[in-house]
Amino acid sequence: MPQKDYIKASRPKAKAKPANKRPARRNSKAKQPAPAKPWLLLVVTFLLIGGFIYFLWFLNQQPAGTTPSAVIPAKTPVKTPPKTTKPKDELPAKPTEEPYQYIKELENKEVKVEVTEQQAGGPYQMQCGSFRVEQQAETMKAQIAFAGFASQIRRTEGANGVWYRVVLGPYTSKRQATTDRNRLRQQSINTCQIWNWS
């Protein structure tokens, strides 16, 4: 007995397509917008560029300090200055002698300046710290030694008790002390003060 195909029999039959109609295309030419006209865009661009170049040329042709005739109101009369003939620029006659005498005077002039001797105000010392504990003074002395300077710790007793002072010097001039203080500031030691040690 032949086998029967039940799946094929249950499918509905496809409708017959008419032969006269063409299958509809998804991308038909009628639905697409008309392509843009690039030549029109090019013509407009060239006209704008040409107009701009003509405008620049027109501005360049105007003499300096004048305005175009379209800007001047029609009611105001334009006065033209009378034409005068300018004489040609002639060079003045060369002088026979030098009109300025200071060149010869300064060659042989002596200038006297009084120099006063600067009195020495020293000796100076620089104190970089004052501590109650000697160990803190030793730490400051080590920092100064790493910066390349020799310092001393001086123990002083006063009304407030015992103080340990870290001191550099003596310096003969204040300028030397200021130079060393600036070098210490470059090494982040900013607590140094210069005193007149007498």
Q: Which H, E and C letters describe the chain, residue by residue? A: CCCCCHHHHHCCCCCCCCCCCCCCCCCCCCCCCCCCCHHHHHHHHHHHHHHHHHHHHHHHHCCCCCCCCCCCCCCCCCCCCCCCCCCCCCCCCCCCCCCCCHHHHHHCCCCCCCCCCCCCCCCEEEEEEEECCHHHHHHHHHHHHHCCCCCEEEEEEECCEEEEEEEEEEECCHHHHHHHHHHHHHCCCCCCEEEECC
Q: Residue 195 has what pLDDT?
A: 87
CATH of the domain at 135: 3.30.70.1070
Is 181 within a domain? yes
Q: Residue 138 has what pLDDT?
A: 95
Do the Cβ atoms of 176 and 104 come closer than 8 Å? Answer: no
Q: Residue 52 has what pLDDT?
A: 93
Spatial distance between the Cα atoms of 184 and 131, rounded to a whole number of angstroms:
19
The whole-angstrom distance between residue 99's C-alpha and the CA centroid of its chain comes to: 49
Number of domains within the chain: 1
Spatial distance between the Cα atoms of 169 and 123, rounded to a whole number of angstroms:
9
Is 61 within a domain? no
CA distances from 144 to 171, 177, 187, 191 (A): 16, 14, 9, 11
Residues of the domain holding 168:
124-196
Q: Is 176 buried (19+), middle (13-18) or exposed (0-12) by CB count in 10 A? A: middle
Q: Residue 77 has what pLDDT?
A: 61
Q: Residue 39 has what pLDDT?
A: 84
pLDDT tens digits along 43-93 = 999 999 999 999 999 888 877 665 555 555 556 666 666 666 666 778 878
Low-confidence ranges of the chain (pLDDT < 70): 1-2, 4-36, 64-87, 98-99, 118-121, 198
Q: Residue 20 has what pLDDT?
A: 60
Q: Residue 180 has what pLDDT?
A: 94
Supply 27's token pair: 């991308």
Find tokens 């203080």 and name the residue.
181
Is 2 within a domain? no
Is 82 within a domain? no
Provide φ and ψ at 45, rounded to 5°: -65, -45
Find tokens 């010097």 and name the residue.
169
Is 57 within a domain? no
Q: Residue 74 has what pLDDT?
A: 53
Is 128 within a domain? yes
Is 85 within a domain? no
Q: Residue 127 has what pLDDT?
A: 94
Q: Residue 156 has what pLDDT?
A: 92
Is 136 within a domain? yes
Do the Cβ atoms of 197 and 169 come closer than 8 Å? Answer: yes
